[in-house]
Amino acid sequence: MDPAEELPSMLWGLDPIFSAFARLHVTDILHMRESCQVPDIYFYKSHPIHKVDVLGTVVYKREREDFFCYGVDDGTGVINCLCWKNDPMKEELDSDGGKPSDDLQHSFNLAVEVKKLKQAQQTHFRLEIGELLRVRGQVKTSRQQREMMASTYYKVNDPVMAVQIEWMSDVLQLYREFYDKPLHLQNISASESPITSLSKATQIIKDFLEQKAVSKFRPYDIQDILQPLFPSCPEVAPAGQEPVAGSSTCQQLHVLLKEALQLLQDEGVVYRKVKSQDEVYFVTAQDKDLLMAVKDIIREDSKREKYQEKGCHILHILSSVRQRHSMNVSKAVLELVLKSLECNSDIISTRDNYFTYFII
């Protein structure tokens, strides 16, 4: 990638890979280009990287007072990993191993157990050449050499290579699905995304229906309230007439209105009692006939022996409503109606998805 095409640093957080420990091959870590904006930030193709996750075999080691230096080979290259010691690892254990006295051999000895724990911890973090190491940390460049500053590291026991095989499979999938795909960020300032426009349109319609207490409407009755989202759209044509031909903005408005109404139907806010060319939408919260039909069904069926104990299941109520009121009533619509009736104490819920009539 050309340095001139480097993503601005203020947008790096929009790439989810930037916040994760990237499972990259060592050869790619060694050859990543360093950012010209911020030191110790690197780019694999178009993705900013500063934390990596590596699994490999130790091919060399050096120990200092404060850290271990391991050379980790994952099969594609070798990278130097600085693994810092914690305080317990810096403490030298007694050579006698803290052998307890004879009278305490058969009882719990806290000092001995703590010493055993420290020994196990040191064994877990002290690796030898040929052992498998997993290390996570930041990528650094020191003395013109790429290396890792480990934040977490530990020895991996993998006698049958099951962990390594699974690791290689996962890494290849990550490359295919994420790392090798270019990063595309939309210019937010240039135009709103369709999702943002759709959510705004949906909320505008919801607010209008609630404020005006609308019980039913047709699309052309409310399309003018979406005009603020399209300033260049001319006045809406009268009912029954087509909009001015060639107006792409008005076409976008009609498409947006259609998508918003579909979303409101999916949420159960509105529904069509009869599907015909005359598109009439009923507002669930204001449809008194629907609320009364649901209420009557629950009141009548709750008296039946079959439903006296548990109440009526929502699917039974839905089937009855479709037979009595409209075949186009969805489960989402019914759930809103049941919630409204329950809030008004007309019905009560006996358990999940079971309802019965409330009798004072």
When pLDDT is cut at 50, 70 and 90, the band that residue 105 belongs to is low
The residue among 310, 311, 269, 309 whose CA lies nearest residue 290 is 269
Rg of the chain, C-alpha, whole Å:
34
Average pLDDT over residues 237-265: 70
Statement: 194-282 belongs to CATH 1.10.10.980: yes
Encoded tokens for 212: 């005006």
pLDDT band at 191 (very low <50, low <70, confident <90, very high): very low
- C-alpha closest to that of 58 among 131, 157, 119, 150: 131
pLDDT at 357: 87
Residues forming CATH 1.10.10.980 domain(s) in the chain: 194-282
Where residue 48 falls (left for φ over 0; alpha for ψ -120 to 50; beta otherwise) is beta
pLDDT greater at residue 227 or residue 286: 286
**Neighbour tally for 169: CB within 10 Å:** 10
Q: Residue 322 pLDDT more than 90?
A: yes
Sheet holding 42-44, edge to edge: 33-34, 42-44, 47-49
Between 20 and 122, the higher pLDDT residue? 20
User: Which of the four pLDDT bands, split at 50, 70 and 90, describes residue 98?
Assistant: very low
Domain 287-357 in CATH 1.10.10.10: yes
- Greater confidence (201 vs 190) lies with 201
pLDDT in the model for residue 147: 95
Pick from 202-211, 222-231, 241-250: least confident: 241-250
Integer Cα distance of 284 and 215 in angstroms: 8
* 214 within 8 A of 202, measured Cβ to Cβ: no
> CA 63, CA 82: separation in Å to the nearest integer?
10
Residue in the block written with tokens 């699974």: 166
Judged against a pLDDT cut of 60, whether residue 144 lies above it is answered with: yes
Q: Where in the chain is the domain with CATH 2.40.50.140?
A: 3-179
Task: Quickly state the pLDDT bin for 173 (edges 50, 70, 90).
Answer: very high
| 55 vs 22: CA distance, rounded Å | 12
Residue 129: both structure tokens together: 């050449």
Q: Which of 323, 333, 326 is nearest to 270 (CA)?
A: 333
Please tell me the chain's helix, strand, coil percentages from 3-state DSSP, rounded to the nearest 5: 45, 20, 35
In angstroms, rounded to a whole number, what is the distance separating the alpha carbons of residues 185 and 102? Answer: 71
Mean predicted confidence (pLDDT) in 120-124 = 67
What pLDDT is recorded for position 4? Answer: 57
Residue 91's pLDDT is what?
A: 57
Q: How far is the C-alpha of 139 from the C-alpha of 152, rounded, in Å?
A: 13
Task: Just give the CATH number of 3-179.
Answer: 2.40.50.140
Q: Which two tokens stand for residue 189?
A: 């300032």
Please determine, for residue 151, whether its predicted confidence score (pLDDT) is greater than 50: yes
Question: To the nearest whole number, what is the mean pLDDT of the chain?
Answer: 83
Q: How far apart are CA 164 and CA 169, in angstroms?
A: 9
Which segment of 138-147, 223-232, 251-260 scores lowest on mean pLDDT?
Answer: 223-232
pLDDT of residue 330: 93
Residue type, 130: G
* Domain ranges in the chain with CATH number 1.10.10.10: 287-357
